[in-house]
Amino acid sequence: MTTLKKNEPIIEVKHLSKKYSIGVDKTYKTLCNSFAYAAKNPLKMLKGSFEPNNTFWALKDVNFEIKRGEVVGIIGRNGAGKSTLLKVLSRITYPTEGEVRMRGRVGSLLEVGTGFHPELSGRENIYFNGVILGMKKREIEEKFDEIVNFSGIEKFLDTPVKRYSSGMSVRLAFSVAAHLDPEILIVDEVLAVGDTTFQKKCLGKMEEVAEGGRTVLFVSHNMSVISSLCETAILLEKGILKERSQTGKVIDVYLNSGQEATGQIIFSEKHPGDNEAILLAARILNKDGRPITEARIDEDIFIEMEYELLKNGLRAYPNFHIHDSYGQIVLITSDSKLDYRSELKNKAGIYVSRCKIPANTLNSNTYYIMFVLTDVYPFRVHFSEKDLLFVTVTDPIEGILSRPEGYSGSIPGAVRPLLEWDLYNCINN
Amino acid sequence: MTEYAIDYELVIRPKYGFLDLNWQELKDYRELLFFLALREIKIRYKQTIMGASWALLQPLFTMIVFTLIFSRLAQMPSDGVPYPIFSYSGLLLWTYFSNALSQSSNSLVDNASLLSKVYMPRIFMPTAPCLSGLVDYGIAMSVLVIMMVYYRFVPGISILLLPFIILLTFMLASGVGYWLSSICVKYRDVKFILPFFIQLLLFVSPVIYPANIVDENFRWLLYLNPMTGLISAHRACLLGHITVDLVGLGISALLTIVIFVSGILYLKHTEKYFADLI
C-alpha cells in the first residue's frame, strides 16, 4: 500500500554515531605489522582487543529530521563531523551506531568530477560521470545538450579532458552534477572551485533545484551562501549536533562558539616559522585593544602579529593576506614604511606589527586572515599561516554611511570602502 | 511540485551481518557495471600506437617464445597437436585470466577516489575488469581461428561447453579478485605478492605442458589449481583432439564456485570499512 504521507520526514536520523580508530598507521596496514603486533601482544590478540584503543567519535548521537522540500545547511568548523555525516548519508561509510531512514532517492555530490578520466573525451566523461553519479543513460541522453550548453565547452567536446584547463574540467564536471535530479540532493562544499562567474551560475542552479521542491542538504563554510540558500540549518561541533533551527540563529551560534572564535591565537609550543623567524601570536583587535571576531562595518579593525627574529640582519616584511569565504584574495597589505633598500636591517628580538583597517573599508562578510612574514634579498618566506583568524563584519543597516538611506537589501562586493564623490548640477532649469 | 513514489525507503544501519547481497540494488545499478567495464576498455589502449591489437600480440609473442623454448629445445609433448596451436589455445584463456585477476585485485585501491566519494555496489569494481577482459579474449580468439584453419582443426560437439568454460573462468578471476581486492584495501602487500603469484600459477597450469605428463600419483595436486581443469577443457573443446576431461572440469567448477561465493561473502563482510581505510 503506497499512501502519500506528505508530513512524514524525508530524512530521519536517529542516534547516529560514527567511530574512527586512529592507529599509528592511519592509512593502511601491512600484513607484517599485524603479525608483529600479534606476536608481541599474544594476550591482547586472544582477548580480541586487537583494535587500537585510540578512537574518536566523528559523530556522536546525532538526531534530526528533515521535511520534504526543506533546504538545510550544515555548518561547523573543520573536523566537526560535517563530511562524515554526508558520507554516512551517502552510504559511502557505515555508521557505528544508530540509523538513518531516507524516503526518497539520494544523489550526492561530495566532489566535483568524481570518476572523470583524463584520457577520455569530454563527451565520454559526461556519460561516465553521469552514470557514476546515479543517472540513467536515457536520462543523460535527454539532458546532454543542456549539460553541454551549461558548461560552455561545446568546441572541446571531443578533446581528451587532460588537455582541458582546470577551469574547463571543473565547469564540465559541475554541469553534469547540476543536472542530477534526485529527490534528496546532498552537496559538499564543491562550489569553492572555479571562477566566480561560474560559481554564481552554479549557485543559481542550486537555488533553482531548491525552489523546485527538492530536499537539499548543503555543506559550506560560506555563511552568505548558506543564509541565502537555506531556510534552516544544522550546526555540528565535535561530532555533536549543537543547534538545529532557522539559519540566522544557527549562524549566530556558530560565529559565537568555539575556541577559534576568540580573535587571538598565542603559540606557546609549536611556533610556525623557520630557523630565522617565528610567529608568536596573531590577533584581531578593536580600537580598545580587545580581541574580536566580529566588528561593525563602521568600526576600525586592527590586525596584529607578534613575531621573533632569531638572528640579526634580516629584512623581514610582515604582511597580511585577507581572503573571503570563497578563498579569493580580497587584498594583501604590508608595512610601506619599511624600506630595506637602504642599509636598514632588523636586529634579533621580538616585534609586533599592527595594521589598521579603517572603518568602512570591508563589506559585511566574513574575512579570513593569513599571517605571513617574508624576507627580501634573497626572497624567502619565514612563515605563512592561512586562515588563522577570521573576522565577521556586520552591517547593522541603521546609520551606515556606505548604504543609501532607506535601502536595507544586500550590497554585494568584496569590499565596500567609502570613496570620495562629487555631485555637479550641470543643467539649471 | 512532483509527486514522488513514497514506497521507496532506504535504511542505513551499522553493518554486522555476513550476507546482505541486495539483488534488487544490483539490478538497479546494472547499467553502471556495464559502464565501468566500457570505461576500462576505452581507457586501456588510449595513447598507444598498436591500440587493441595488443590484446592479441601479448599471447601471440608468448606463444612464439614458448614454441621456440619448450617445443624446439625442451621437446615438450603436446597431446599430439602442433605445439604452437597447443600453447596458444592455453595462453588465450590464461592471458584473459591473469590480466583480469591482476586488474580486479587492484581495482578497489586504483579507484580509491571513486570509492570514497560516491556510492555504488562495491562489488562492481572488481567485477568490471573481468567483464572488459572478455573483449580482449574475443580479439585474441581471432588468431586461434586462423591457426585452426591453417592446421585444419575442426571443433566437435564439445564446443558447446565453451561458454560454460568462459563463464567459469570469469567467475574464478572475479572470485579471487573479490578476495584479493578486499584484502588489498587493508594490506597493500597484495600488490607485491600478486605478480609473483600469477607467474608461479602459470607453471602449475597446463599451458606449457599437457596435464597428463604429470605422474598419476601427483596429478590430483595439479587439479587443486582450478585453472587446470579449465585450460585442459578449453583446449579440448576448441581443438577437438581429445575428449573433454569432464571430471577435471567438474573439480574446477566446484572449486570455482566455492571461491566465487566465498569471495562475495568476504567482500560484503569487509566493505564496511573500505572508505575508512583506503
**In this predicted model, what pLDDT tens digit does every residue of A44-56 receive, in sequence order?**
544 444 445 577 8
What is the C-alpha to C-alpha distance for residues B114 and B36, in angstroms, rounded to an integer?
11
Residue A417: inside a domain, yes or no?
no
pLDDT at A245 over 70: yes
Same domain, A169 and A307: no
**Is A121 within 8 Å of chain B by CB?**
no
What is the C-alpha to C-alpha distance for residues A160 and A164, in angstroms, rounded to an integer?
7
pLDDT confidence tier of residue A153, bands split at 50, 70 and 90: confident
* Average pLDDT score over residue span A320-329: 81
Same domain, A77 and A157: yes
The grid coordinates listed for A32 are: 607484517
- Which amino acid, one-letter code, is at B81? V
| Cβ–Cβ below 8 Å for B117 and A111 | yes
Which residue has 559585511 as its cell numbers? Answer: A364
**Is A3 within 8 Å of chain B by CB?**
yes
The grid coordinates listed for A297 are: 562595518
Same domain, A187 and A162: yes
Chains A, B: CB pairs < 8 Å: 121
pLDDT at A198 over 50: yes
List, in sequence order, every residue forming a beta bridge with A353; answer none if it has no partner: A305
Residue A216: predicted pLDDT: 87
Residue A368: predicted pLDDT: 86
| DSSP class of A20 | E
* Average pLDDT score over residue span A272-291: 91
Residue of A nearest to B29 (CA): A134
pLDDT at A2 over 50: no
Residues of B in contact with A133 (CB under 8 A): 118
What is the C-alpha to C-alpha distance for residues A251 and A235, in angstroms, rounded to an integer?
8
CATH number assigned to the domain comprising residue A283: 2.70.50.60
CA angle A248, A327, A266 (to 5 degrees): 85
Domain boundary among A255, A275, A303: A255
Residue A409: inside a domain, yes or no?
no
CATH number assigned to the domain comprising residue A149: 3.40.50.300
Q: What share of chain B is helix, strand, coil (3-state, %, to 5)?
A: 75, 0, 25
Domain boundary among A225, A255, A285: A255
Q: How far is B189 from chain A (nearest CA, A)?
A: 6
Among the ranges given (A111-125, A293-307, B6-20, B183-197), the one the predictor scored with the smallest mean pLDDT = B6-20
- A288 close to A318: Cβ distance less than 8 angstroms: no
Among A94, A133, A136, the residue with its CB nearest the CB of B14 is A94
Quote the domain boundaries for residue A98: 11-255
- A108 close to B119: Cβ distance less than 8 angstroms: yes
CA angle A368, A371, A373 (to 5 degrees): 160
Which residue has 554585494 as its cell numbers? Answer: A412
- Region for A72 from its dihedrals, namely left if φ exceeds 0, alpha if ψ lies in -120 to 50, beta otherwise: beta
Same domain, A17 and A78: yes
Same domain, A157 and A201: yes
Q: Which of residues A411 and A195 earns the better pLDDT score? A: A411
* CA distance from start to end of chain B: 41
Residue A107: predicted pLDDT: 83
Q: How far is B25 from chain A (nearest CA, A)?
A: 12
Same domain, A226 and A349: no
pLDDT confidence tier of residue A6, bands split at 50, 70 and 90: low
Residue A427: predicted pLDDT: 80
Among the ranges given (A2-11, A36-45, A113-122, B106-115), the one the predictor scored with the smallest mean pLDDT = A36-45
Q: Which of residues A301 and B20 earns the better pLDDT score? A: A301
Which residues are within 8 A (CB) of B207 and not within 5 positions of it... i.e. 6 or more apart?
Answer: B87, B90, B91, B94, B231
Same domain, A211 and A196: yes
Residue A28: predicted pLDDT: 47
Residue A404: inside a domain, yes or no?
no
Same domain, A271 and A378: yes
pLDDT confidence tier of residue A36, bands split at 50, 70 and 90: low
pLDDT confidence tier of residue A166, bands split at 50, 70 and 90: confident
Q: How far is A98 from chain B (nearest CA, A)?
A: 6
Q: Tell me the torsion sign for CA atoms B38, B41, B44, B47.
A: negative
**Is B113 within 8 Å of chain A by CB?**
yes
Residue A38: predicted pLDDT: 62
pLDDT at A9 over 50: yes
Residue A229: inside a domain, yes or no?
yes
Q: C-alpha A38: how far from its chain's center? A: 42
**In this predicted model, what pLDDT tens digit does every residue of A395-429 receive, in sequence order?**
887 778 888 877 877 788 889 999 999 998 888 76
**Is B32 within 8 Å of chain A by CB?**
yes
Residue A415: inside a domain, yes or no?
no
pLDDT confidence tier of residue A5, bands split at 50, 70 and 90: low
Same domain, A279 and A315: yes
Residue B61: how many CB atoms within 10 A of its CB? 11
How many domains, chain A? 2
Q: How far is A126 from chain B (nearest CA, A)?
A: 12
Name the stretches of chain B with pLDDT < 50.
1-6
Q: Considering chain A, what is the average pLDDT of its residues?
A: 82
Residue A423: inside a domain, yes or no?
no
**Is B117 within 8 Å of chain A by CB?**
yes
Residue A48: predicted pLDDT: 45
Residues of A in contact with B181 (CB under 8 A): none
Residue B2: predicted pLDDT: 41
Q: Which of residues B17 and A102 earns the better pLDDT score? A: A102
pLDDT at A209 over 80: no
Residues of B in contact with A90 (CB under 8 A): 118-119
- B117 close to B124: Cβ distance less than 8 angstroms: no
Residue A222: inside a domain, yes or no?
yes
* Whole-Å CA distances, A377 to A316, A317, A347, A373: 10, 11, 16, 14
Domain boundary among A255, A274, A306: A255
Residue B151, H or E segment:
none
| Cβ–Cβ below 8 Å for B1 and A69 | yes
| Cβ–Cβ below 8 Å for A97 and B113 | no
| Cβ–Cβ below 8 Å for A29 and B186 | yes
Q: Report pTM.
A: 0.73
Residue B217: how many CB atoms within 10 A of its CB? 7
Residue of B nearest to A138 (CA): B31
Residue A51: inside a domain, yes or no?
yes
pLDDT at A121 over 80: yes
Which residues are within 8 A (CB) of A170 and not within 5 positions of it... i.e. 6 or more apart?
Answer: A112, A113, A193, A194, A198
Residue A64: predicted pLDDT: 93
Residues of A in contact with B14 (CB under 8 A): 94-98
CA angle B158, B222, B154 (to 5 degrees): 20
| Cβ–Cβ below 8 Å for A120 and B42 | yes
Residue B109: predicted pLDDT: 93
Which residues are within 8 A (CB) of A43 and not within 5 positions of it... i.e. 6 or more apart?
Answer: none
What is the C-alpha to C-alpha distance for residues A260 and A388, in angstroms, rounded to an integer?
9
Residue A343: predicted pLDDT: 60
Q: What percent of chain A has pLDDT over 70?
A: 84
CA angle A92, A96, A101 (to 5 degrees): 65
Q: How far is B147 from chain A (nearest CA, A)?
A: 35
Residues of B in contact with A120 (CB under 8 A): 39, 42-43, 46
Which residue has 581443469 as its cell numbers? Answer: B229
The pair phi, psi for residue A206, each rounded to 5°, is -60, -45
Same domain, A239 and A381: no
Residues of B in contact with A7 (CB under 8 A): none
Concatenated DSSP letters of A252-276: HHHHT-SGGGGSEEE-SSS--B-SS
Same domain, A76 and A126: yes
Same domain, A136 and A200: yes
* Whole-Å CA distances, B85 to A382, B57, B113: 70, 15, 43
Residue A344: predicted pLDDT: 64
Residue A277: predicted pLDDT: 92
Residue A192: predicted pLDDT: 54
Q: How far is B78 from chain A (nearest CA, A)?
A: 41
